[in-house]
Structure 1
Amino acid sequence: MDSLESRKRTGLAPASLPLFGGDLVTIASFLIAGELSHGIDPVSQPLVVVETIVPFVIGWFVAAPLLRVYDRSALSTPLAAARLAAGTWLAAANIGLLLRGSPYFEGGTTWPFPLVIIGIGIVSLVTWRVIAARVLSTG
């Protein structure tokens, strides 16, 4: 494979900004849903909700470029989109859980929170990314 073809396959996808926005909305949405299920109101307790979301967004910022989740090939097929979303969330969630367990963030990582956050995150992000791959591949 020549270097020009290699650059075309590994460069940032034209849809990177909307994908990034969709990823962040997806992450924030399921975390906010979790807060609501625990009786935390995002309107009356916005800092509590932000402090829940921030460690996982930091994890996504760290994991996404390492796993090349915004490369052109990231949405080449629904299967590729699903694999990248799942792998990136596994890394991001673990970074987020480590941060939540640190003295810098409220909350914790007591059982079964890690399983719930990883499972719901994978389902949410894989669903979003597969839909994005299908829409962009038909457009």
Structure 2
Amino acid sequence: MATDSGSNSFLANRVDRAALPLAVGDLLVIVAFIYAGTIQHGTVPFPLAGAGDAVALLAVAAPFLLGWVVAAPLVGAYSAGAAESAKASVPLAVRSWIPAAAVGLILRATPLVDGGVAVTFAVVMLVVGSVSLAVWRYVAGQFL
């Protein structure tokens, strides 16, 4: 059975195992800033009181996590060299967040996902997500 070496090489060039700590940190940062927003708006309590609260948080975060999982590898957020320095890592994270947030916002605009999309929400997601990921990537670049 033949394999599609073109798609395998594309992913191999976009995802480097050395960037695994960045990937874990990115996902945690995305959930953390979304959690901060849900606390601010009173939709999920702090601390999480049980499994129901965790599920509610993941329901809010899921469209953006899905967007990140799709966009980040395509943009190259985990490509070779991404984990080597903040100079390379920070711009890749911000460039990945913009399409990832767009995917999340589009999903929230559908009847499949609760929440809707107000312009202010979209701006906050783009700005806070970009800043959060940039700060995390900068700090990670100093220590990883």
Q: Which interval holds the TM-score relative to the shorter structure?
A: 0.7 to 0.9
Q: Which of 97, 100, 118 is the matching residue for 2:105?
A: 97
Give aligned pairs, total: 127
* Structure 1 unmatched runs, 5+: 1-9
Query: What is the distance in 1 between the residues matched to 2:14 and 2:132?
Result: 25
How far does the alpha carbon of each residue in 1:26-62 deviate from its partner, in whole angstroms, 9 at most, with x for none? 0000000100001122436333322110000000011
Paired residue secondary structure (2:81): helix
Query: What is the distance in 2 between the residues matched to 1:12 and 1:117?
Result: 25
Q: CA RMSD in A?
A: 1.6
Q: Which of 101, 105, 125 is the matching residue for 2:133?
A: 125
TM-score if structure 1 supplies the norm length? 0.83
Q: Which of 17, 22, 38 is the matching residue for 2:20?
A: 17
2:15 touches 2:73 (CA, 8 Å); kept in 1? no
Query: What is the distance in 2 between the residues matched to 1:135 and 1:27?
Result: 20
Structure 1 residue 112 corresponds to structure 2 residue 120: yes
2:18 touches 2:83 (CA, 8 Å); kept in 1? no
Percent identical across equivalent pairs? 37
1:30 aligned residue: 33
The runs of at least 4 aligned residues of structure 1 exceeding 6 Å deviation read none
TM-score if structure 2 supplies the norm length? 0.80
- With over 3 angstroms needed to count, the CA separation of the structure-2 counterparts of 1:131 and 1:13, relative to structure 1, is farther
Report the CA distance between 1:11 and its aligned residue.
6.5
How far does the alpha carbon of each residue in 1:104-126 deviate from its partner, in whole angstroms, 9 at most, with x for none? 11111112000001111011101
